[in-house]
Amino acid sequence: MGSHGSFFFALVFFTLALATTALPAKLNPYYYDKICPKALPTIKWVVEDAVKQERRMGASLLRLHFHDCFVNGCDASILLDNSSTIDSEKNALANANSARGFEVIDRIKAEVDKACGSPVVSCADILAVAARDSVVALGGPTWTVPLGRRDSTTASRTAANQNIPSPFLDLPALITNFKNHGLNTKDLVALSGGHVIGFAQCAFFRTRIYNETNINPAFARQLQSNCPRTGGNTNLAPLDPTPALFDTKYFSNLVNKKGLLHSDQVLFNGGVTDGLVKSYSLNLEAFSGDFVSSMVKMGNMKPLTGKNGQVRLNCRKVN
C-alpha cells in the first residue's frame, strides 16, 4: 500500500469533500417532519376547501407552480407584488389578468404559520405542495413532494416573458423551451397534460378557432359562439370536456383535433409527440405515472436551499 495508497485515499477524500461543499443542499420530503409536522396537513385542508368552493382553483394553483418554476427555478418569485425594487412577474404576458389563486396562497401561508407557531414554511414549498394537493383534489394521482425550497428576494418580468411557454408556440419551439429547463419531450407531453383540468381565455385560442385547419369544424363553431373575432378576450372555455376531473380526455381531444390551444394541438399533428399523446389517451395509468415523474422533476428546478434566499413572512413581499 505505502505512500501511494495513502495519497490515493487522501485524494479520494479531498474529492469527496469538494463534492459535498459544491453540491447544493438537496430537497427532501421530510424537511418539515420535525420543525412542523402540521405543515403538510394544513396546506392540504386549505387547498381542499378552496377547490370545493371553486373547482377551477385546482388548475389555477397547479399553473402557479409551473409558471413559478419556469422563471429562475421554483422560488416563489411569481408571488411577489410590484414595488420600487420588484418588477412583478404577475405583469408578464402569460400572467397578467390570467394567473390567479394568489389569495388562496395567502390563506395557506397564514394558516400554516399559525399551525407551525412561526414562519418556517416557504412560499415556494407551499406552491409545490398546493399543486400536488390540487391534482389530488380533482381525482388525480398523488406523489411525494421533495421540500426545503427557499424564497427568492427578486423577480423578473422580463425572464417570465422569455421563459413561460406561449400558447402560440409550435412543437419545435416548445421542445426547445422545455429542454432549456432541463425537461425532455416526454416531460413536455406529460406536463401539457396539466391541461386535463382548467380553462383558457378566448384571447389565447381565438386564432386557432378562426384560422387553423387542423381543428374539428363543429368544435371550432361551438367555441366561436363564446369567443367572437373581436371582444370577449377573457371569456373562458374548458381545456378539455371535463375541466374539474383528472382523466385522459385532454389527450383523446387532441387525437380528435379538439385541442383548445395551438400549443395543445401541435402535440398531435404528425410530429414526434403523436405516439405519446395516443398512448396517454388510452392509458390513464401511464399518463399519471409520467405526469408525477415530470412534476417532481419540474419541482426540483434550481431551488434556493440552505442559506440562499429566505422564508418570506408575507408571500407577496421580500422580508
Binding residues: 68, 71, 73, 75, 77, 89, 165, 195, 240, 247
Residues in binding site for substrate = 165
Task: Evaluate whether 136 touches 51 at the Cβ level (below 8 Å).
Answer: no
The DSSP annotation for 52-72 comes to HH-THHHHHHHHHHHHHHTTT
Task: Evaluate whether 87 touches 156 at the Cβ level (below 8 Å).
Answer: yes
Q: How many whole angstroms separate alpha carbon 164 and alpha carbon 183?
A: 13
Residues in binding site for Ca(2+) = 68, 71, 73, 75, 77, 89, 240, 247
Is 67 an annotated catalytic residue?
yes
Active-site residue identified among 65, 67, 181, 262: 67
Q: How many whole angstroms separate alpha carbon 56 and alpha carbon 256?
A: 24
Handedness of CA 217, 95, 46, 69 (dihedral sign): positive
Structure-block grid coordinates of residue 156: 423578473
Under 8 Å CB-to-CB from 102, ≥6 apart: which residues? 64, 79, 90, 316
The amino acid occupying position 125 is D
Structure-block grid coordinates of residue 207: 386564432
Structure-block grid coordinates of residue 239: 381545456
Residues in binding site for heme b = 195
Q: How many whole angstroms separate alpha carbon 114 and alpha carbon 193?
A: 35
What is the DSSP code (8-state) at residue 200?
Answer: E
Longest dimension (CA), the chain: 84
For residue 200, list its beta bridge partners.
Answer: 237
Catalytic residue annotation: 67
